Amino acid sequence: MSLKISEEEFKKILESGKRVDGRAFTELRPINIRLGIVERAEGSCLFEMGHTKVLCVVRGPTECVPAYIADPERAVLDVAYRMCTFSTEERKSPTPSRREVELSKVIREALEPSILLEEFPRMMIKVYCLVLQADAGTRTASINAASLALAQAGIPLRDLVTSVAVGYCYGNIVVDVCSIEDELCADIPIAMLPAYRKITLLQSDHRLPIDRLSEILSTAIKAIDQIYELQKKALKEYYLSSTKTGD
């Protein structure tokens, strides 16, 4: 997972038309989805994208705690993103970092437009995103997992939210970055309500060429459409199997 590579070697691999992990530029990492694995929770989803593994758990709608943050018009969506101490190469401190606080907000804002929060005034919906193993794309995997866990919890949704990070690496656009690419390239996490073609997250801390922006977006959207199909398939399979077992 922590393949150390020089920038020169990294560029050479890209010039040969491949990526550090052997994928094609627009190829996603293998995705594995499991729903309903935490039986005490209303919704839960384990979402794996390559070596990145995130468990999301949904509780609610429940009474809003603390009561003073209750909104008389809509439910409060509370998102907590945390990385386990064992999820990274170097032990992650158990103290919540500024990054975890920021990503909790980013994930909440990506999910909010999909949820009919107005159906649950004064209530709270809690989403816990626990990163079990990190190899880049933990916020995007969290969004994909959280949306599925919300659907499994029976929370009314306008659509699922689907997310992927694309990278801009020395002139090449790559899909679903791994951690080496995350370090050496500009990464652009994107989330979308695929059925509405509505973008709910678009981030980048890097300078990008404006003339490549529409290509970056269309590449991301193609990947999002592929992940969306896998999300719908996982939901369908979950409901078909729980109808059989009477869960």
Minimum distance from residue 99 beta carbon to ligand UDP (Å)? 6
- 159 or 182, CB closer to ligand UDP? 182
Task: Give every CB contact of residue 242 below 8 A, 6+ residues apart in sequence.
Answer: 36
At 137, is the secondary structure helix, strand, or coil? coil
134 binds ligand UDP, rule: CB under 6 A: yes
179 binds ligand UDP, rule: CB under 6 A: yes
Cβ-in-10-Å burial (0-12, 13-18, 19+) of 164 comes to: buried
- 109 or 182, CB closer to ligand UDP? 182
Minimum distance from residue 57 beta carbon to ligand UDP (Å)? 19
- 35 or 107, CB closer to ligand UDP? 107
Region of residue 176 (left: phi > 0; alpha: psi -120 to 50; beta: else): left
State the greatest distance between any 2 C-alpha atoms of the chain, in Å, as a whole number: 58
Name the residue with the smallest CB distance to ligand UDP: 138
92 binds ligand UDP, rule: CB under 6 A: yes
Which residues make up the interface to ligand UDP (CB under 6 A)?
A: 88-89, 92, 99, 134-139, 165, 179, 182
